[in-house]
Amino acid sequence: MNEHFVNPELKRSSIILASLMSVFFIITCVVLKYHHYQLKEDYTKSLGAIAARVIEKEPDLEKEIMPLISKEASKEEMDKGKAILIQYGVSKNLENQFFPYINKTIQKNNYYTIFIFILMIATILIVNYFQHISIYKKIRRLTLGAKKVVDGDYDIAIEEDTEGEFAKLATSFNSMREIIRNNLEQLQQEKEFLVNLLSDISHQLKTPLSSMIVYNDIMLKKDLSKEQREIFLVNNQNQLSRMEWLIKSILKLAKLDANAIEFNKEELSLNDTLNDSLEALESKALEMGLTINVIEKEEMVFSHDKLWVEEALINIIKNSIEHSPKGGEITIELSENLVYRRATISDMGEGIREEDLPNIFKRFYKGKTSKKTDSIGIGLALAKSIIESHNGTIEVKSTIDVGTTFIVTFFKY
């Protein structure tokens, strides 16, 4: 019940109705006062005529009659007078028309009562009409807005300046409109993403599949020695490994983009995660004759999915290894402050051109001057998605022929 009285529309209607009732109450009081005035005037006329007639016939009775007019008579006197009037047929059952003075006042009072009643009904109907017109206008706006949303027009907004249930309804409608628009846009984006994903997979698998078809065709149609067959089989095995890694990476990236992965986050050491990443790349670093220096001042523990963050770090460090000269150095520094935890990975490689820097985290992007011909361009994109899913960011700074630095930051808040 309380919430209904808080409702501005109901409160406004109640105030209007109470105001109208107050106005009509005042009018009724004024009319009644006028009615009482008329009754007194009629009373004066009627009794004055009687007193004048009696005093004219019997002047000595004036002093006895006048007190009866201005003061209340005794019950005995009233009963005697009533009995005398009844003898002449004058009683309360006599029709009004036989009371000429009172009859006029009663008629006036009836007219005033009817007029007040008609005026009150008309006023209430008019106020009710305009209130409902206002309500129906708001409903029509909502109906028109809903129809436009159904027709695909999401630019319409229902504005409601006043407070109340219609304002809440307008806010809910606008929220619903935005949700529907966002959902449809998201569905369209997902559709485009699926189309692009299938196109990317088709494009990336086309080259290794073509190579394997050629190798198999040669092995089937040509008379090859054992050594030549082994070379082709090794090439096919490499292509299959590349395809397997590519498909797994693309599917991981697709799941991350679709928010279809539930991370198993635990309070674990970033130092340990980094060390496990370096162990996975140890043979590759040794093959390149690289030295990897790790600078860590303290243990950094935060909530993360160890396997996924490890994969992100592997992709970043692997990129630094592949673009470093043989015998070079890679420096990894871990640092922490009140705001974030950070891993900085620096190499002494070929560097990245300034125009390529904004694009290196895009999937399948490959720098125009990159010396790594077998690069697919998906590792850094995958690393970026993983890091961002852990409330982090990744930045890159690079200078040609000097080196590249990746800055991975995990925010605490």
| Residue 155 domain flag | no
- Last residue within a domain, chosen from 150, 174, 194: 150
For the domain that residue 203 is a member of, what is the CATH number? 1.10.287
| Residue 160 domain flag | no
| Residue 308 domain flag | yes
| Residue 293 domain flag | yes
Q: Is the Cβ–Cβ distance between 215 and 187 less than 8 Å? A: no
Say whether both 74 and 111 belong to one domain.
Answer: yes
Q: Is the Cβ–Cβ distance between 300 and 270 less than 8 Å? A: yes
Q: Is the pTM of this model over 0.85?
A: no
Say whether both 296 and 343 belong to one domain.
Answer: yes
Is residue 346 pLDDT above 90, yes or no?
A: yes
232-242 pLDDT per residue, tens: 888 888 888 87
Q: Share the mean pLDDT of the chain.
A: 80
Average the pLDDT over 271-292 and give the result.
Answer: 92
Say whether both 332 and 276 belong to one domain.
Answer: yes
Q: What is the three-state SS of 27-52? A: HHHHHHHHHHHHHHHHHHHHHHHHHH
- Last residue within a domain, chosen from 196, 228, 257: 257
Is residue 268 pLDDT above 90, yes or no?
A: yes
Say whether both 189 and 237 belong to one domain.
Answer: yes
For the domain that residue 388 is a member of, what is the CATH number? 3.30.565.10
Phi, psi torsion values for 259, nearest 5 degrees: 55, 40
Band the pLDDT of 10: cuts 50, 70, 90: low
3-class secondary-structure state, position 413: coil
Band the pLDDT of 373: cuts 50, 70, 90: very low
Say whether both 290 and 325 belong to one domain.
Answer: yes
| Residue 157 domain flag | no
107-144 pLDDT per residue, tens: 777 787 788 788 888 888 888 788 778 777 877 877 88
Express as a percent the part of the chain with pLDDT over 70.
Answer: 83
Phi, psi torsion values for 370, nearest 5 degrees: -65, 135
Across 258-271, b (16+ Cβ under 10 Å) vs e yields eeebeeeeeebebb
Higher pLDDT, 330 or 350: 330
Q: Is 395 left (phi over 0), alpha (psi -120 to 50) or beta?
A: beta
178-223 pLDDT per residue, tens: 888 888 887 787 677 667 766 766 766 777 788 888 888 888 888 8
Is residue 406 pLDDT above 90, yes or no?
A: yes
Say whether both 344 and 229 belong to one domain.
Answer: no
Say whether both 407 and 276 belong to one domain.
Answer: yes
Say whether both 272 and 315 belong to one domain.
Answer: yes
Q: Give the total number of structural domains in the chain.
A: 3
| Residue 159 domain flag | no
Sorted by sequence, the CB contacts under 8 Å of residue 104 that are 6+ apart come out as: 38, 42
- Last residue within a domain, chosen from 229, 257, 285: 257
| Residue 161 domain flag | no
Say whether both 124 and 230 belong to one domain.
Answer: no
Could you list the residue range(s) of the whole structural domain that residue 52 is in? Answer: 2-150
| Residue 213 domain flag | yes
